[in-house]
Amino acid sequence: MRAVVAMASPSDGARTQRPNARRMLALHGKGGNAASFERALRPLVDATRDTWEWIFLDGTVSELNPGGRGWWTLRPGERSYSATELPGVDESKELVRSTGPWDGVFGFSQGAMLAALVAADDEANARGDSGCTVRECAIIVGAAWPTCEAAKLESMSTARLQSLHVIGSKDGINPPEQARRLASRFGAGARVFEHDGGHIVPMDADALDTYKAFLDVK
């Protein structure tokens, strides 16, 4: 297992991580890896460094593209929402648990679904905050409904976590209506930010302001 701990950008000069910073786990999408996701989230990492320490994990399974990783295996042409099984998902959930606890989690695509499944496990096990894998918040970006693993999501009635769900109206990989269905399981307090892009992690000014406003209230 490889982890990337986000360090200060050269332009940050003498800025250092505060010793009481909360721990944010970042979970990349299928075909990405810890290092590439850290580069993609660099503007947000730098903007929140005073209060959050970002740790990026590599997925547990290898993908066909060089250096690519995933959190479970899919057959060619198969999607997480249509699969009848997700081989590797239990190992990935255990990796998140064993490296925690985490104050927050930020997931994209497969990583977003993994984050939601871990949150559902926490809810199903009815543990107090001190015993949960993720204790405060989740940012779920570009997710789908993981049908074959969704029983615990279906049973969530009131989510303990504060959550932000980021949905692309032109997402051609994970249909927006599935992301909205996932958001609904996190209760009435779930926040939704919709952008006019596709299957991406938006990092424009509006998106950054939304992320920062959400994280600042923790």
Catalytic residues: 109, 171, 199
Least Cα distance to 85 among 42, 147, 36 occurs for 147
Q: How far apart are CA 174 and CA 110, in angstroms?
A: 10
Q: How far apart are CA 86 and CA 74, in angstroms?
A: 7
Distance (Å) of CA 36 to CA 31, 56, 68: 10, 9, 9
Number of Cβ atoms within 10 Å of the Cβ of 101: 17
Q: Where are the beta strands (DSSP E) in 87-216?
A: 102-108, 134-141, 162-168, 191-195
Least Cα distance to 89 among 153, 3, 142, 40 occurs for 153
Q: Give the torsion sign (CA, 152, 158, 163, 166).
A: positive
